[in-house]
Structure formats: structure tokens, C-alpha cells
Structure 1
Amino acid sequence: MKKLLQVLMLGCLMVSIPVWAQEVKVDIKEFMFGPKDLTIAAGTKVTWVNDDQIPHTVVETHKVFRSGALDTNDSFSYVFNTPGEFEYFCALHPQMIGKIIVSSAH
């Protein structure tokens, strides 16, 4: 049994994740996105987490992505597979803005 567990654990360690696959967190706090501007590689998953006490949304200006209302501690994720610039804002508080710049994956 011990030998079987060792083999299973070794097999799990050999599973690889592509080096370009990453995850980035954007905090929503005090009516701001942090970081406000972010440069990432294509294939990166960005997760916005609402750390405020009131709801917020994440809406891309060209409707590429749009979250529902995020209550405290709620999150919204989007994987950026296409290079380009993606500007976004909070539909409930339009003064809250941010930008994701996606470069080609290497």
C-alpha cells in the first residue's frame, strides 16, 4: 500500500501546467480596482475579488466580459486568450476604471 501511494504521489507531481498559464488577482477596495492597470500574458486568468462592503461589477467597455453584482467577498474571473487592451469599469460606480493589457504568450 505504501508503495502504491508513493507511485500515485509521483504521478501527481509529474502533471505539468504550462508556464504561461497564470492567475492574477485584482482587489476591489475603497471604490478602486487594485492594481488599476495590469499587463499580463495571453492565457492568464484574472480574478476580481470584492473586498468592499457594498456591491460592485466588472464590465469591459466593449462587452467582452461582464460580471453580475459582486457582494463582499464575491469574485469574478475571466481568461484573457486574445492579445490587446481591455478597459473596464464598475457599472454601479462608473468612476471606478481599470485596464488589462494582454501580450502574446511566449
Structure 2
Amino acid sequence: MAQAPLRAADAARVKIDNFTFAPKVLTVKAGATVTFQNDDDIPHVVVANDGSFRSKALDTGDSYVFTFTKPGDFPYFCALHPHMQGTITVTP
């Protein structure tokens, strides 16, 4: 069975730049795909506090994509710079 194409509402982006995640808090619906895009000039690693997702080291211009399938709050941070923090809130 073919997967339905993504609608614009099913995808979101978190920009990594200047040692910050923007937006810091992002709300999406369950099933949404979030792209973490590193626009900073140094590497970053996106890691969920609960271990549910973890990127490789993202160099400048690299991205990491994760699909959030269940509702809840998913705080995350940069493994290389732990002061960098954000939260993905997933609604039903």
C-alpha cells in the first residue's frame, strides 16, 4: 500500500543557527515529519531527552529528519552543546 504524500501541514522545520534551535518550541500533529537543519558554522547533534531520536553529527548544511508518531512532549538538546535545548510538542 502506497503511503499518502505529505501535505505542507505534515512537515515542519527547526533551524539550528547561532547555538540555538528555532523555534525553541514547535507544536505538530502526530504523524508529522520534522526536519532539523544545521545552518550554523559548527557541527551539532540533536538528541531527545528520552532517547527516542538522535541525529548523527550535523555539519553546516546537513539535516536530520524524524517523524513523530505519538502525542506528547519531546524535549531535546545538542549533545555537543547541552545548553542548546528545544521541545517538540505532538498533538493527536
Q: Does 1:77 align with 2:89?
A: no
Find the partner of 1:40 among 15, 28, 32. Answer: 28
TM superposition score normalised by structure 1: 0.79
Aligned-pair identity in percent equals 51
Structure 1: stretches of 5+ with no match in the other structure: 1-15
Q: Which has the larger radius of gyration?
A: 1
Which one has the bigger helix percentage? Answer: 1
CA RMSD of aligned residues (A): 1.6
Separation in 1 of the partners of 2:68 and 2:19?
24
Which one has the bigger strand percentage? Answer: 2
SS of alignment partner, residue 53 of structure 1 = coil
Equivalent residue letter for 1:33: F
Shift of 1:18: 6.8
Aligned to 1:56: 44
Structure 2: stretches of 5+ with no match in the other structure: none
TM superposition score normalised by structure 2: 0.91
